[in-house]
Structure 1
Amino acid sequence: MQKALETDEELLLLFKQNNNQQALATLYLRYSELVYGTCLKYLKDAEAAKDAVMNIYTELLQKLPAQEVHHFKSWLYVVVKNHCLMQLRRSKTATIVEFQPTFMQSADLLHLDDLLDKEAHFKMLEQCMEKLSDEQRMAIQLFYFENKCYNEIAAQTAMEWNKIRSLIQNGRRNLKICMEQHG
């Protein structure tokens, strides 16, 4: 005849060592009224509380093997409380909101805004380029728009390398000032 397991610790150990679900069921039944009462207190609905009692047992099957539990009753109470709070949180966040396109910007419109901003920026750049001296405009054009290096520009224009560098630096500074003045 097998000795009756009395303590929570013995039942818990039997479950953990042998995956004995009967031991866990016996232990859980000891506290089923506590579990149900706690669920009812938080969920305020008898059917939801009954469902939670069943779900918590399933949760215990998964959680207990990895947990170090010294006082089953207090640990169980925390599990039950957290389960109920998660249920309440899920029910609050599960509200359905009707989609209203007038409240949201379309990605297509944002892309169009970007294109319009770039186009306006480019037009302003063209206007500022017209305000540069001929030499600065030509040096900027060759360097930035045609991707030529200082040596290539010097060879093409028969200007000295230092003069090209000076034209590009001064042209950039003048472009920046012009662009800042025009927004």
Structure 2
Amino acid sequence: MFFRRSRPAPAAELSDAELLRRYHAQGDVHDLGALYERHMTEVLAITRRYLRDEDDAKDAVMQLFEQLVSKLRQHEVENFAPWLHATARNHCLMALRARQRAGPAAGGALVVHFPDAAGMESVVARHLETDDPAEADLHEQQLQQLEHALAELPPGQRQCLELFYLEKKSYRDIADLTGFDLNAVKSYIQNGKRNLRRHLQSTAASNASP
């Protein structure tokens, strides 16, 4: 009797969780690459949002992958997408702090695009001092609140808001990129702004309550 060794399933046929378990067990970087590629668009959106420089954002995407090679062999992760988003955000915050410590000559001012309770039109520019941890903590909390608020939106609203406000795409550009018709794009942006504002106001009220 002859036994034929079963071939491993192609990465494209496996879920995120299955790919993650196989990489954790076997360490095949091709599995990790396939997994990371599925989420690279979202990761790039996060790094662009925080770092604002296209080259820095793309560098951060590559640096994150290099970190994942060892991290995901050492730690078990249950929900990959939320964990990856948090890891990307923390990586960007560390990069911003390093830029801040380097001082103005190295472009150390932190410029953060953050929608206030009135909507996403305003841009908040902050210069954080390294000797003021309370201010730095507040700044980080605001960034986390934005990330969480965007994550709570329906996918269409989130995608249109990020393209319109963070990547400065026109309604027509967004329609072409997403496949949504023009009226749907306008509706997603209007409803997304309203829902984002409500979420941020709710979060602010919860934080203010004793």
Q: Tell me the distance in 1 between the aligned counterparts of 2:103 and 2:31.
A: 40
Q: Encode CA deviations 1:109-129: one digit per residue, 9 max, x unaligned.
A: xxxxxxxxxxxxxxxxxxxxx
Match of 2:125? Answer: none
Q: Tell me the distance in 2 between the aligned counterparts of 1:47 and 1:41.
A: 13
- 1:39-78 matched pairs, under 5 angstroms: 39-78=47-86
Q: Tell me the distance in 2 between the aligned counterparts of 1:85 and 1:40.
A: 12
Match of 1:81? Answer: 89
Q: Encode CA deviations 1:43-99: one digit per residue, 9 max, x unaligned.
A: 0111100000000000111211121200100010011000000000000011289xx
- 5+ residue gaps, structure 1: 98-183
Match of 2:30? Answer: 22
Q: Tell me the distance in 1 between the aligned counterparts of 2:97 and 2:104.
A: 14
> What is the deviation of 1:6?
2.2
Q: Tell me the distance in 1 between the aligned counterparts of 2:54 and 2:71.
A: 25
Is the 2:44–2:57 contact (alpha carbons within 8 Å) kept by the matching residues of 1? yes
Looking at secondary structure, tell me which structure has more helix per residue.
Answer: 1
- 1:164-183 matched pairs, under 5 angstroms: none
* Count of residues in Structure 1 that have an aligned counterpart in Structure 2: 97
Q: Tell me the distance in 2 between the aligned counterparts of 1:96 and 1:40.
A: 21
**Residue identity matched to 2:99:** S
Length-normalised TM-score, structure 2? 0.44
Match of 2:45? Answer: 37
Moved more, 88-97 or 19-28: 88-97
Is the 2:46–2:89 contact (alpha carbons within 8 Å) kept by the matching residues of 1? yes
Q: Tell me the distance in 1 between the aligned counterparts of 2:95 and 2:36.
A: 20
Match of 2:14? Answer: 6
Q: Encode CA deviations 1:116-153: one digit per residue, 9 max, x unaligned.
A: xxxxxxxxxxxxxxxxxxxxxxxxxxxxxxxxxxxxxx
**Residue identity matched to 2:15:** T
**Residue identity matched to 1:59:** Q
> What is the deviation of 1:2?
5.0
> What is the deviation of 1:13?
1.1
Structure 1 or 2, whichever has the larger Rg, is 1
Q: Percent identity?
A: 35
Moved more, 75-84 or 63-72: 63-72
Q: Encode CA deviations 1:147-178: one digit per residue, 9 max, x unaligned.
A: xxxxxxxxxxxxxxxxxxxxxxxxxxxxxxxx
